[in-house]
Chain A
Amino acid sequence: MSELISIGVAQIGVSSNPAVLRTILGSCIGICIYERNKKMGGLAHILLPNQLGKGIPEKYADTAIPLLVKQLLQQGCRKEFMSAKIAGGATMFRFQGSHSLGQIGERNISETKKILEQEGIPLLEEDTGGNVGRVIDFFLEDGRLKIKAAGEERIYYKV
């Protein structure tokens, strides 16, 4: 049996084969980084794009992604074997008016991509946007990502 680890809002989890990292996403993004050589990986569940004021670094894309990479490197992972998959960033179905809250999903997606690029980690797959909630399972056995959304399941295998 593989060990199922639940990652909450604004948390980072790092583990190795055969663990499975799970999180549930609305407008937040789940950033899954896999190191294919060591069969290790980590998941960061971010809430917002940028750290402007106070708050833990795990909450924001621009601080959580470097932190996740650092934690993997500390475990002996190497950057050249790392790749990323991301999910989430949904928006409310209907927004009357133009509240900035309505754009958080979009802002999270674009900042996440920007930071991954800065870190030099290739983004191989994304399952983002729309109005759906997502339950995601990141299998460290082979780096595959299973996504359950609106009654359907999809699996992404690229690593």
Chain B
Amino acid sequence: MHAHIKQRIESIISNLDQLPSIPDVASKVLTMATDPDVSFKQVAEEIAKDQAITTNILKLCNSAYFSKGKEITSIDRALVTLGLKEVKDVVVVAATKAILNKTIIGYDLAKGELWRHGLAVGILSKKIAQQKNRKDIADIVFTGGIIHDIGKTVLAIYVQNTYKDILDTVRKNGIPFQQAEKEIMGYDHQEIGERVLAKWKFPEVLKAIVQFHHQPDRAPGEFKPYTSIVHIANTICLMAGIGIGSDGLYHELNDAAITTIKLTDQDLETFYAEIPEMMHQAKELI
């Protein structure tokens, strides 16, 4: 354990100003979407407050991935045509790209790789939910998938300083990378990510996805299906090399997650095999 590194990380997470920020509109729309009484008008008004993001949202609504065929020229039309859950997903894409689309030293991710990875995991998570009778949570695992590695943006510099020790611990003790992060630095990227989401006032379910994406069976019972889906999507995307960094495949595929979602070997292989088509469909979002 590097005590001084642990202290520095502690000082960062105790000072909210030092953690990444997200446009207000994202937190507001995420919360509104959980309120059954919210009206489209209220959501449209909230989005309209942020002019820059509105332009971007309209562009995304007309991209191949989100479009339903009809051209969308206003937020009102977007809500009617795509629905609130889908528009919420668009808001998440628009609001998180700037935070994730950068070089992540330490984890050795070139500029754009963490964004590509988050997007791939989000899209695959949504697809798994839709195909395995969990359409009801497809929008939430999409968001969770996009931001699951947000903690890496904060921890990167400390991983760079301790990488050799982390990797030695992985190999010597036969433990996954994120467990070695915790042994060496006192924290892993899942916990740090959870703190970032707490700052953003994101719902509990998203905090659970970020905190347990490598250990889905440790999440509170009601959140297990969510953490399991994102866990599996993350594994498949890493195997396909999307967003694979210095932590490589030093991770674990959790059996309980596969059982929870009732996936067969054939399902897993098909999701893996369809990654190229999936990325192609989402290329405008990258």
Contacts and interface: CB of A to CB of B under 8 A. Distances in A.
Contact of B246 (A58, A105, A151): A151
A93 B252 contact: yes
Interface string A114-155: 000000000000000011110100000000000011110000
Interface in A58-109: 58-59, 88, 90-97, 99-102, 104-105
B20 interface: no
Interface stretch (A12-20, A25-33, A36-44): A25-33
B265 to A, nearest CB: 5
Interface residues on A, range: 35 or more
B248 A132 contact: yes
B244 A92 contact: no
Interface residues on B, range: 35 or more
Given A93-B249, A132-B249, A150-B248, A26 B276 contact: no
Interface of A: 8-11, 23-28, 45, 47-48, 55-56, 58-59, 88, 90-97, 99-102, 104-105, 130-133, 135, 148-151
7 contacts: A47-B275, A59-B276, A93-B249, A93-B252, A94-B176, A96-B253, A101-B253
Given A48-B273, A99-B268, 18 more contacts: A9-B240, A9-B279, A26-B244, A27-B241, A47-B275, A48-B269, A59-B273, A92-B252, A93-B252, A96-B252, A97-B258, A101-B236, A101-B268, A102-B253, A131-B249, A132-B248, A135-B108, A148-B108
